[in-house]
Structure 1
Amino acid sequence: MIIRPRSGKLLLVTQPDHAHLAAEILSLWRADDLPRHPRRPELIFAVREHDNGWREPDAAPRVRPGGGAPMPFFEAPLELRTEIWYRGVDRFSQEHPWASLLILEHALRLHRGERQDPDWQEFFSTLEERRRVLLEAAVETLGGSGAELSEDISRDYRFLELADLLSLAVCSGWQGEYECAGYEIEAQEDRLLLSPFPLAGTTRFRLRCREIDDRSYRDAVDLGVSLASARWQDREIRLEPSS
């Protein structure tokens, strides 16, 4: 769950809804030769489903240990993250192996800072074995070598990385300047300014979210009751060219 404090409330966005926004942005992307990319449909699918492993935990979110605020996604413990990424990679591995490889790449890159942590070694070794199996299957169906397809994964991954950052910035209400994949990004809460601009023109998107009181919650049940009574809403998001 992405949690954004706002005027005495907490704006909550599920990881799958964040990923849906990322895919909506990428589906209108005109730059980087993406409209003619041979794997464009699979790329957009990967972006839309890159956080699919969060479906289950976001349906029943936790509070921080001992009660208090809802637990944001970046505080999820190792065992939960492991479960999320294994499930996220495996869910579409038969129907969409290329998307699964990109989701797996995302998991590895997100957690690269933990490479030397002994507690994380099983996570990395398990995902690397899954990657080997998926790559072998991709070589059989797509041709080429494992090394060539690995390079294609790295090239394709930049689209996932960029779309993920753009969506995360507005879902989280960031303010500041960022750079990713050759783009300069200025985040202004619900508005993003980009240079160069990759869409046809200023574009509005809708972000699905809920608001609950910014208070201490006793446990997951207390939080769940508040969420059940919270009305879903669509928040307007704007992408504009930098002036």
Structure 2
Amino acid sequence: MIIRERENDFVMIEQKNHAQFAGDVIAQWKTTLFQGEELRKSVDYAIRMHDYGWEYLDKSPFWNDKKQVPYSLFDFPKAPKIIFYTYGIDEVEKIDAYAALLCSRHYIQFFLKDSSKESQLFLKQEEERKNRIIAALDHFDKRIFDFHYALLALGDTLSVYACVNEPGATKETIHPFFKKGLSLSEKLGLNETNMQPSWIDEETIALDIFPFEGSINSRMIQKVVSKATIMEKGLLDSYNEAEYEEVQISVKSSM
């Protein structure tokens, strides 16, 4: 779950909906810039499914009693998080092993500096998965794989930008994480190191670097849950009773 807090309510975005937005964006990556075209369907699948492990968990959000807010992706405890990450990668692998390899690569970065037993076991498990999948592939090109992973990471970050900021956010109100823009991996081959996204109105995000075929039209599916209702009924009932709403978002060039 990705949470955006307002004065009187919480905007709550399930991870699968965040991932679908990321997929809509990267699906428009310019064909002339795409490396390993024969794997494009696998890359698209990985991006849309990279948070599949959260799908059922997000239907029953948890309350963080210490912070008095719903638990979000960013503060959810690591031990159960690993269980859901593993489940998600396992499910993706049943359909597309290369996509699972990309999802696994995405998750291991969060535990590389964690010495806990659970994290080290997860890293060992995913290293074994990586070796097994690569051994079964007819051909594996690390350079192209790194490019594909950079696409996943970019789509994920652009979608997080759309989730954690209020539509129409200004330079003054933008989430601190994005104050300096968005780092671009050299693996993308764009010869740029930073992308500056900005809301130009309540439905449009503009990018100063635009490696896409054309303007992207997507949507963010979310729920807005009243703090007063949570106090009265609890988080789970309040979330289940809230209606999903769709926020239309376009992504275009600022040039």
The TM tier, using the shorter chain, reads 0.7 to 0.9
Structure 1 stretches lacking a partner, 5+ long: none
Partner residue, 1:125:
124
Distance 2:29 2:152 in 1: 12
Q: 1:34 to 1:151 in 2, by over 3 A?
A: closer
> Which segment is superposed worse, 187-196 or 101-110?
187-196
Q: Deviations over 1:68-120 (max 9, x none)?
A: 31111111112211101111111121320000000000011233342x45552
TM-score, normalised to structure 1, is 0.85
Deviation at 1:8, TM superposition (A): 1.9
Partner residue, 1:229:
241
Which amino acid is 2:60 matched to? Answer: A
Q: How does 1:207-222 map to 2 (within 5 A)?
A: 207-214=220-227, 217=230, 222=234
Which amino acid is 1:165 matched to? Answer: T
Q: How does 1:17-166 map to 2 (within 5 A)?
A: 17-30=17-30, 33-34=33-34, 37-65=37-65, 68-114=68-114, 116-117=115-116, 120-138=119-137, 142-143=138-139, 148-166=140-158
Contact 1:70 1:217 in 2 (8 A): no
Partner residue, 1:15:
15
Contact 2:9 2:227 in 1 (8 A): yes
Of all paired residues, the percent bearing the same amino acid is: 22
Structure 2 stretches lacking a partner, 5+ long: 166-174, 186-191
Partner residue, 1:171:
163
Deviation at 1:37, TM superposition (A): 1.6
Distance 1:197 1:242 in 2: 8
Q: Deviations over 1:135-158 (max 9, x none)?
A: 2222xxx23xxxx54443222101
Contact 2:36 2:144 in 1 (8 A): no
Contact 2:25 2:216 in 1 (8 A): no
Deviation at 1:60, TM superposition (A): 1.0
Q: 1:225 to 1:199 in 2, by over 3 A?
A: same
Say yes or no: does 1:180 pair with 2:180. Answer: no
Contact 1:170 1:190 in 2 (8 A): no
Distance 1:78 1:200 in 2: 38
Look up the SS of the partner of 2:74 in the other structure.
Answer: helix
Partner residue, 2:219:
206
Contact 1:162 1:180 in 2 (8 A): yes
TM-score, normalised to structure 2, is 0.82
Say yes or no: does 1:6 pair with 2:6. Answer: yes
Partner residue, 2:172:
none
How many residues matched?
234
Contact 2:205 2:251 in 1 (8 A): yes
Distance 2:216 2:96 in 1: 29
Contact 2:108 2:123 in 1 (8 A): yes
Partner residue, 2:170:
none
Which amino acid is 1:240 matched to? Answer: K
Contact 2:28 2:214 in 1 (8 A): no
Deviation at 1:66, TM superposition (A): 5.8
Distance 2:31 2:147 in 1: 14
Distance 2:164 2:13 in 1: 9
Look up the SS of the partner of 1:197 in the other structure.
Answer: coil
